[in-house]
Structures are given as structure tokens and as C-alpha cells.
Chain A
């Protein structure tokens, strides 16, 4: 069943077009990642979908309700976690949870059961009496997520929940999301980290408010239409300018090594001559497997061109 259906969404801030012709759909029990760099429009899309921003064109339909007509019916079914921590820092973990339970009109015993379940998977039970403002970054995100789960939402929209969170907590958060998804929640999560995209069922790449590509993480890479080679030993610092003059390859520096991108179905060996003139031996060049990040950059450049 199609739980989230966003069609042809347009949103601009004055002259600036923040989102253009954006379409997204998510099925029940699907974990969808919206990936893109800062400023790609992820937050604007999410805030619009949650009814916090007006939009210029398009339709937003959540759980079968149009957001313009039946927003009140959507609210009890929706959980939205903004990018910035937005709970009460002067209230304890338990008090924050209790407050959210109250907002959704939960009965006390119902709440207590739910709380224990949330404590179990988040590990927040140990910190129940601690003020939310004094939690670590990862714990804060787990609390924010827990507050949004108190009413068992059908649709969860999480805006960069793992940004600024340590790697262990990031992993834990994704594990929680997987469990939720198995329980039947539809989850849309944005992330600037490409490695997280692989953990989702489906991913959408966003750049400048436009969709670049959409698909299953393991199938996305088939869209990458060039080969990557890595140069290990980099001779001189001025080499980048010289590399960029070679017709047909794009080069990009990654720390101490350089990645060369060729045109589709082209062999690297045609360039060996030119490269050896620059002092790069054939032995220091080796092919590497493209990653999602490479795909993203390629698509981004194509869309900017």
C-alpha cells in the first residue's frame, strides 16, 4: 500500500527555488533514504510534507489523506523528528516521554507499557531521570525518536537523525529503524552520509531541490557509467592541473591519492603514455570499485552541467 505519495512538489523561498517537481512515494513497511549534501532541499521537503511549510504546487498525500484537507487526521499517524534536537532540555528523559504521551492522549497504563518497550530498544531506561539537555548526542537522538514513537505512528519522517552522532550510535539508530520497519512502519529518513544509503530499502538522491535518481541501493551503482582508477603515489603537487588537461578523464584528489574517472567503456591503457610523461607509472594505477558517493558526484555534475 502506498502510504506516502508526494507528487510534483514545488516550493520556493522568494526567488530561490528550493524544491522543484519533486515526486516521492513510499509503501507500507518501507525504509526510504533521501540522500544529499547540506542545502540540497531535504529539510524543506520534509518540513513541507509534515505541514510546517506551505508549498507552491503539487500534492502531498499521507496515509490516504490530503495534507491540505485532512491534516488533523494525519497528525495522529505521523511522527516527525526535526534535524535539530527539539525536546525540552530542562525536563528529564521520562518527563519528555510522558509529555508526548499526554499530547497524543494516551492512558497512563498504556503509556507505561509503551515506555518500557521504548526503554528496551533505546537503552534510555538507565537515564530515565537525567535531564534531556545533559544526554550525549546519540542518546538525545534516541530520545527524540522515542518521543516520536510513543503513539505508534504509521509514518515516520526523520530529518538527518544521525548527523553529529558517533558511529556506534549511528549503527544503533539504523538497527532501531530496521526493527520499526519490520513492525510495519513506513520510514523516510534523510542523510548526508552515503554509507547509510546502503542500509535503506530504497534511496533517492537529491541535489538543488531536484531528484537525481531513485532506486534500490544495490542497483543504483549500475547507473554509474565510467570506470575509476586510483593513483597511489602522487608525484608533485601541480599534477592536478596537468591531469585535468587530459581529454576524456576527470581526476579528483582523495587525501594522498587521486581518483581518475574515465568515460564509459573506455580503457585506461590509452592514457598510460600521457600519464607516464607526467611521472605516473602504470604500476601505481589500479582499478577500484565505484561507490555510491562516486555515483552521486557524477550525477550531480551531470545535473549542474
Chain B
């Protein structure tokens, strides 16, 4: 049995190594994905292009503008653009915020009358719009206090744990690692058995003494190895290139990844029992990957999803693994903090493997 499995594994790895496209996919894809996604998916909102309408033109209004742009948050990209055409700048993406200081700004301030300052924000990106408004409010409050010289009654001292500079890349790279190994292992394993069926070798295999468990094990372990390879490339690249901190235990991450790989390989295997061609298998695996990624909390937190969708995410093994990768890498989470996730992944893995085994045995006879 062990010898048959070894023969099958060796053959499987040979086949992958022979295929130049496959090699490119395995080695180049993680780096490109990390580079592009690592830089592109940036939820930090900084350097907000701002149009400034200063109708007051006083020293106070200039000071106000200076306070707004003092941090790295707002930068003045247009000064006093045509008033009647303010919206055009939003449409042409010249700026995403417009600050309007009325001509009675300093006058009212000195007379201690209410002062109105306008801020228009491009709401087409809801996420960055709310962050922009938060920044503006915070800066306005600080300015008020400074001008009126009143001490703050309650001081809140915030400290951001695990990611003090709030770098979104620290958060994204572990996520990308999880996404990468999901895609590569689900797709490779879904095509593995279907390909044998397509070229007719499966029939030939069924006449040899190989058993169904041996076939399944020999077919999945090579892809688990490739999954680990893929993860290692991505992790090393993330740590060395992006300087992502890795706080937790490497061995714990690899150990739990092994459990996770059984869920994605199991899904791939299951797909290969319900499809007839590699093309069909590819589409199914693609569908699974997209579903898994979107409901994993990779892009947006699961807590923000509608309640019904939140329940659906429990069916997604990537959801658990996402917590594990980020937890271990960023927070240094230990095994006892991750119990629920580990158990959920084991249940998923056992179920999907058993059902593909049953389906598979049924198909053969």
C-alpha cells in the first residue's frame, strides 16, 4: 500500500514538474499576487486630495487650512477652483474632498458666533469617505480646543495593538497567503483525478491492485506538498520584501496549515468526483475559490455582513484559516486560542474527504 502511494506521489510530482505552465503558476503567481495585491489593496486613507475654497482670506482661515493639512491626511490639490463647477473636480477625480471656508469665518469666530465650515466628500467610495470625515472631525476638534485654550475634560489615550502604525499591508499579506494556497490546492486537486479520467488512465488504474484510499492519498499528498511550497514562497516574500512581522510560531502555522490543506484538497477531490472534464473541474474550483475568498473576511470583516451571510460563512474553511493565519502572524496566537477554528476545520475536512471517498468508490464500481 505504501509503495503504491509512493509510486503515485512520485508520478504526480513528475507530471507537475514537467508542465512549465504549472511551474510558472506555482512559483510566479504568489510573488505577482503579493506584489500587486500587497500594494494595491491599501485600505489606509492618506493624502486625501482636497480642494480648498477660502472666501475669508484671513490669517485665521489660513491657520485653519494649515491645521487641516498639517498631518499627512489632507493635501491641497486645488486652490479656489471655479465655485460653480465644484462637482466637476469630483467627477474628474482631481480631488475627493472640498473644504469651504465662508467669508464670515474669522468675523463670526471673533464675535463668538457659531462658525460654519463646509466639507464635501466623494461618497462613491463609502469606505474612504467615512474615514475622511472622521479625520476632518478630529482635526476640527483639536483646532477648536487650541484656539479656545480649554483643557480636555477626559483624555483618551489610544494604543493600537499588533499593528501600531495601522499598516494595512500587515493585515493583507497573511490574507493573501491564505487565498493563494486555497486557490492552488483546490484547483490542482480538482483536476488531478478528472485528468486521469479524461486521458483514460483511470480505467487502467482501476485494473491494477491500487485501492481507493491509496489512490486518494497518493493523489492529494503531492498537492499538499505544493501547497506548503506555495505558502513558504509567499511567506518568505512577505517577510523579506514587505517586512511583515511574524510574531507567532512558524511550526504552529505549518501544522494548522496541514489541517487546512485537507479541507481545500478535499473540496478539490469532491469536485473531481462530480465532473467529467478538466474544464468543468476548473470552473467548479474557481467558483469555490471565489466563494471562499469573499466570505472569509479577507476583504471585509464578517461582522459587517448581513446575518444570513454570516451563517453561510461557517461553511467556509477559509474563514477559519484566515483567523488562524492572521492570529499567528500578527498576534502570536497560540494553539489554545485557536481551538474553535481548528475543530471546525477538522470537521469540514473529515466530512468532505469521507463524502468524496464514498462518491468515488460508488463511481468506480
Contact = CB atoms under 8 A, between A and B. Distances in A.
A51 B206 contact: yes
B207 A86 contact: no
Interface string B9-24: 0110011001100000
B3 A105 contact: yes
A52 B209 CA distance: 13
Interface in A69-87: 72, 75-76, 78-80, 82, 84-87
B67 interface: no
Contacts of A90: 14-15, 18-19
Contact of B18 (A52, A78, A91): A91
Nearest to A100: B208
B199 interface: yes
Contacts of A86: 199-201, 203-204
Contacts of A100: 208
A76 B211 CA distance: 12
Contact of B4 (A72, A79, A85, A102): A102
B208 A104 contact: yes
A75 B205 CA distance: 10
B15 A52 contact: no
Contacts of A104: 208-209
A290 interface: no
A86 B14 CA distance: 17
A104 B204 CA distance: 13
A38 interface: no
A271 interface: no
A99 B14 CA distance: 11
B212 to A, nearest CB: 12
Interface in B188-222: 199-201, 203-210
Nearest to A153: B207
A72 B206 CA distance: 10
Given A88-B11, A102-B4, A52 B19 contact: no
Q: Which of A51, A88, A100, A104 has the most CB atoms of chain B within a 10 A radius of its CB?
A: A88
Nearest to B3: A105
A45 interface: no
Nearest to A133: B199
Given A102-B7, A103-B4, A89 B199 contact: yes
Interface string A88-125: 11110001001111111100000000000000000000
B8 interface: yes
B214 to A, nearest CB: 9
B201 A103 contact: no
Contacts of B206: 51-52
A104 B15 CA distance: 20
Interface residues of B, number: 23
B158 interface: no
A50 interface: yes
B304 interface: no
B6 interface: yes
Interface residues of A, number: 29
A80 B204 contact: yes
Nearest to A87: B201
A54 interface: yes
Nearest to B7: A102
A79 B122 CA distance: 72
B365 interface: yes
A75 B201 contact: no
Interface string A194-237: 00000000000000000000000000000000000000000000
A88 B202 CA distance: 11
Contacts of B11: 88, 91, 95, 99, 102
B14 A91 contact: yes
Contacts of B19: 90
A146 to B, nearest CB: 13
B62 to A, nearest CB: 72
B6 A52 contact: no
B209 A105 contact: yes
A57 B272 CA distance: 31
Contacts of B365: 54
Given A76-B209, A89-B199, A91-B15, A99 B7 contact: yes
Candidate in A51, A87, A90 with the most chain B CB atoms within 10 angstroms:
A90
B208 A52 contact: no
Given A86-B199, A103-B209, A103-B210, 14 more contacts: A47-B203, A50-B207, A51-B207, A52-B207, A75-B208, A75-B209, A80-B204, A80-B207, A86-B201, A91-B11, A100-B208, A103-B8, A104-B209, A105-B3
24 contacts: A51-B206, A54-B365, A78-B207, A80-B207, A82-B203, A86-B199, A86-B200, A86-B204, A88-B11, A88-B199, A91-B14, A91-B15, A95-B11, A99-B8, A101-B7, A102-B3, A102-B7, A102-B8, A102-B11, A103-B4, A103-B209, A103-B210, A104-B209, A105-B209
Interface of B: 3-4, 6-8, 10-11, 14-15, 18-19, 199-201, 203-210, 365
Interface of A: 47, 50-52, 54, 72, 75-76, 78-80, 82, 84-91, 95, 98-105
